[in-house]
Amino acid sequence: MASIMMRRLPGSFRHFSSTSSSRSAAVEVKRIGVVGAGQMGLGIALVAAQRAQVPVTLVDSSQASLDKGLAFAEKLLAKDVSKSRITQEQADSARSLLTPSTTLDDLSSVDFIIEAVPEIPSLKFDIFSRLAQIAPKHAILATNTSSISITRIAASTTKDARDTTNSSRVVSTHFMNPVPVQKGVEIIAGLQTSQSTLDSAIAFCKRLGKIPSVSADSPGFLANRILMPYINEAIICLETGVGDRDSIDAIMKNGTNVPMGPLQLADFIGLDTCLAIMKVLYEETGDSKYRPSVHLRNMVDAGWLGKKSGKGFYDY
């Protein structure tokens, strides 16, 4: 086993040892596509229009979702204007760069695509299989997944494992929520990801004003591997009576200087999302320390998903 691991590690981490090098030319990004007009997708599209000032094609199968997303974008831009963060001219320019679409075919001329749909593996695999055929051969195919293996997503782009033409351009750009506010972004390379693809992802995220952190393609990556057990343990403390809701959140806010406690944060993320990520960590590692809280499962079963449903650990 040791000899196998020693042979595997250099290949697994070959991308990370030279991320700052200039050996490979990054793709020049003049136009991007975002798949998914929900909170994350809309945030990514808006930041790209504002910071990188590139045309963005925002794709969603639902016209209602597109309308809702663009209305929210206009609300955010208006808020920035009212607070003198940007001028009305800058807001109008950013809005003009956002083009809605209900078909992936409209991504046939972009240089960089970021998928931001729900964490449903089959849905992501289907989208990437289609994008591999639609997007230009130089285009980067990025996913905003928070827990699904990048290697598995990349594998969905080809029927022949020996042909890495498409799979080598798949990478993860996992943005933090809310995207317009949070500077962090995780860059994750799958086994097939080329150095050029990795360099392109890092360069583009920096262009968006983000601070990239590079993670291995391991369950939960960096952010959720650390964050979700913290939230899950806080819920276990609540269900076992170690502390009440307010005490748990107060000690973490006042003791560690975080802006919100773990239970409030779980509500903000969405308890269904927290549960889904904990399930991935538990199932893929087999480690009992990642076992989801029973109380978390019960709350999701009750439809108490946090802020988005109006009720979670707090009422909204």
- Which segments are annotated as binding site? 36-41, 60, 119, 124, 146, 177, 308
Query: What strands lie across the sheet with 184-189, from one edge to the other?
Result: 98-101, 56-59, 32-35, 112-115, 140-143, 170-175, 184-189, 211-215
Question: 303-311: which pairs have CB atoms within 8 A and are 24 or more residues apart?
Answer: 304/271, 305/270, 305/271, 305/272, 306/266, 306/267, 306/268, 306/269, 306/270, 306/271, 307/267, 307/268, 307/270, 308/270
Which listed residue (115, 174, 194, 293) is catalytic?
A: 174
Residue 50 is classified by DSSP as I
Q: How far is CA 250 from the centre of its chain?
A: 28
- Taking the C-alpha atoms of residue 298 and residue 289, their distance in angstroms, rounded to an integer, is 19
223-239 and 294-301 helices, crossing angle to 10° = 90
Which listed residue (65, 144, 146, 200) is catalytic?
A: 146
Which listed residue (115, 166, 172, 186) is catalytic?
A: 186
Residue in the structure block whose two tokens are 């990025």: 142
Q: Is 138 labeled as catalytic in the residue annotation?
A: no
Cβ count near 245 (within 10 Å): 15
Q: Write the CB contacts of 277 (distance below 8 Å, at least 6 apart in sequence).
A: 119, 146, 147, 220, 224, 228
Known binding-site positions for NAD(+): 36-41, 60, 119, 124, 146, 177, 308
Question: What ranges make up the beta strands (E) of the chain?
Answer: 32-35, 56-59, 98-101, 112-115, 140-143, 170-175, 184-189, 211-215
Q: Is 174 labeled as catalytic in the residue annotation?
A: yes
Q: Is 186 labeled as catalytic in the residue annotation?
A: yes
Handedness of CA 197, 51, 131, 41 (dihedral sign): positive
Q: How far is CA 19 from the centre of its chain?
A: 20
CA proximity to 30, closest of 54, 50, 49: 54
Which listed residue (65, 166, 215, 224) is catalytic?
A: 224
Active site residues: 146, 174, 186, 224
